[in-house]
């Protein structure tokens, strides 16, 4: 078997590993195994790609080891609250890599067919947008940039003109004798478009943005694969692009908003207070012992986690509380809103880390029809996804977004540090409802206190 045939066979094996790993990641029980299989496919793909370039195997081993150490160090050190920011950086890194590949293939004198050079130009454009957009998303998620939309006059016009200029320059950069300065301008414009696109999107839409940028990075990688004539890169990029686009659609559906509305509406630039609910009610605090009394008598309990649970690292205490409630004879379900947290699947990852069984998880549509039969709805750090104004107040920026209808439960207990609004900046009328009790304080300490009450009893 010659080197070309062997390389082709190894690339096919890598593609198969990607597909098998992705399939296994569709279920919680096999997700970990699927992740390892996909990682093995990626290692194989990297080795094949680099060896084909003529680099010696020692260099390959050293670079793979260095990258693995950096990745493992980052994964171990990152806090669960910072996971969305890390995902945004990963998306940006993928975009930057595709941009670099595209630039190299467009350099004057490179022996690349016109189709490959067109694909390289698209890799530069989409990769640049994914890179800079992800950096802006990272800054918003990390609180280093104002989470509200940054909007200025003629912003969309400027974005449109920049996009047209980028495509025109890309047309001039495709020929073999294109000047290197054009490539610099093309890269800068692509990065600029990414910045313009994401700064106008509010923090409440970041889960959608993160999944969309993930799709962008995959599409950019697929075009880079076309430029390099690399089947394994095409397959990997296409899988990431398709998965990200499907997830983006699911996020938009969960918010009852179109993708164009997310990208261009500037949601959150001006925020309503959410009607007159505050004037019609008052906040009713509750203590941990009183919360225990409510939960001890409850036969049906739902737990709605949010970003506040991640901040407090309360998932383990919540899981222990759920076990005690089940031992006490209660039916307990965790209701996960698709956009709870700062990235898709954020709450699922937290609960899986704590060992919560997948069968205990439910979606809002599974619980809302029978919410009146729920004795206690325990909301832990969630805000916008339980705001009844999204259902009742047409003046609210959240109006029309499907929520978890916890306000219809017999009693609602909201574990929260303060009365501050959610990430979307919208005041929550749930806090003033007559059946709502506010359990103020750190969520981990509050849940631990309730657990202690159960154990003492």
Q: Are 276 and 223 in contact (CB under 8 A)?
A: no
Q: Are 384 and 205 in contact (CB under 8 A)?
A: no
Structure tokens at 303: 């737990």
Q: Are 207 and 142 in contact (CB under 8 A)?
A: no
Q: Compute the distance between CA of residue 422 and CA of residue 415 in angstroms, rounded to an integer.
A: 13
Identify the CA nearest to 430 among candidates 378, 400, 366, 387. Answer: 387
Q: 274 vs 65, 106, 384, 436, CA distance in Å?
A: 53, 52, 11, 17
Structure tokens at 70: 């950096």
Q: Compute the distance between CA of residue 118 and CA of residue 129 in angstroms, rounded to an integer.
A: 17
Bridge partners, residue 380, by sequence:
305, 415
Q: Compute the distance between CA of residue 408 and CA of residue 406 in angstroms, rounded to an integer.
A: 5
Which helix H or strand E contains 303, and what residues bound it?
strand 300-305
Q: Are 115 and 122 in contact (CB under 8 A)?
A: no
Q: Are 233 and 49 in contact (CB under 8 A)?
A: yes
Secondary structure (DSSP) of 400-445: T-----GGGSSEEEEEESSS---TT----GGGGSTTEEEEES-HHH
The C-alpha torsion from 111 through 116 and 118 to 119, rounded to 10°, is -140
Q: Compute the distance between CA of residue 422 and CA of residue 30 in angstroms, rounded to an integer.
A: 34
Q: Compute the distance between CA of residue 65 and CA of residue 388 in angstroms, rounded to an integer.
A: 51
Q: Compute the distance between CA of residue 344 and CA of residue 356 in angstroms, rounded to an integer.
A: 18
Catalytic residue among 205, 290, 384, 407: 384
Whether 384 sits among the annotated catalytic residues: the reply is yes
Matching residue, tokens 């670079």: 63
Residues taking part in catalysis = 384
């Amino acid at each position: 078997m010659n080197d070309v045939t062997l390389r082709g066979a190894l690339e096919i094996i890598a593609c198969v590993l990607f597909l098998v790993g992705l399939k296994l990641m569709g279920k919680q029980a096999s997700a970990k195994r699927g992740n390892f299989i996909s990682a093995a496919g990626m290692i194989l793909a990297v080795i094949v790609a680099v060896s084909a370039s003529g680099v010696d195997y020692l260099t390959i081993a050293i670079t793979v080891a260095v990258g693995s150490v950096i990745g493992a160090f980052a994964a171990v050190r990152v806090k669960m609250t910072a996971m969305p920011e890390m995902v945004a950086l990963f998306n940006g890194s993928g975009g930057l890599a595709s941009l670099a590949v595209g630039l190299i293939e467009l350099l004057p004198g490179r022996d690349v067919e016109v189709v490959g050079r067109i694909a390289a130009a698209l890799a530069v454009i989409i990769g640049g947008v994914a890179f800079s957009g992800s950096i802006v998303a990272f800054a918003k998620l990390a609180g280093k940039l104002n989470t509200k939309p940054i909007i200025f006059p003629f912003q969309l016009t400027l974005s449109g003109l920049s996009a047209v200029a980028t495509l025109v320059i890309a047309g001039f950069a495709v020929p073999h004798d294109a000047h290197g300065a054009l490539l610099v301008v093309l890269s800068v414009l692509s990065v600029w478009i990414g910045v313009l696109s994401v700064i106008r999107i509010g923090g409440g839409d970041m889960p959608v943005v993160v999944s969309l940028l993930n799709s962008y990075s995959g599409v950019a990688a697929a075009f880079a694969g076309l430029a390099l004539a690399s089947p394994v890169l095409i397959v990997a990029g296409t899988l990431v692009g398709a998965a990200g686009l499907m997830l983006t659609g699911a996020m938009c559906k969960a918010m009852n908003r179109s993708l164009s509305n997310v990208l261009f509406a500037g949601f959150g630039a001006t925020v309503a207070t959410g009607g007159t609910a505050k004037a019609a009610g008052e906040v009713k605090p509750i203590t941990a012992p009183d919360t225990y009394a409510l939960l001890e008598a409850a036969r049906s309990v739902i737990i709605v986690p949010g970003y506040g649970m991640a901040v407090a690292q309360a998932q383990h205490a919540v899981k222990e509380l759920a076990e005690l409630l089940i031992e006490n004879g209660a039916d307990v379900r965790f209701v996960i809103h698709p956009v709870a947290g700062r990235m898709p699947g954020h709450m699922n990852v937290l609960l899986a880390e704590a060992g919560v069984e997948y069968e205990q998880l439910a979606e809002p549509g599974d619980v809302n029809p029978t919410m009146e039969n729920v004795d206690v709805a325990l909301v832990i750090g969630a805000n916008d996804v339980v705001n009844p104004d999204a259902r009742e107040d047409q003046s609210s920026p959240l109006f029309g977004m499907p929520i978890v209808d916890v306000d219809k439960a017999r009693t609602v207990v909201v574990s929260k540090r303060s009365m501050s609004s959610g990430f979307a900046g919208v005041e929550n009328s749930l806090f003033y409802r007559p059946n709502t009790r506010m359990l103020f304080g750190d969520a981990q300490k509050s849940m631990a206190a309730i657990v202690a009450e159960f154990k003492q009893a």
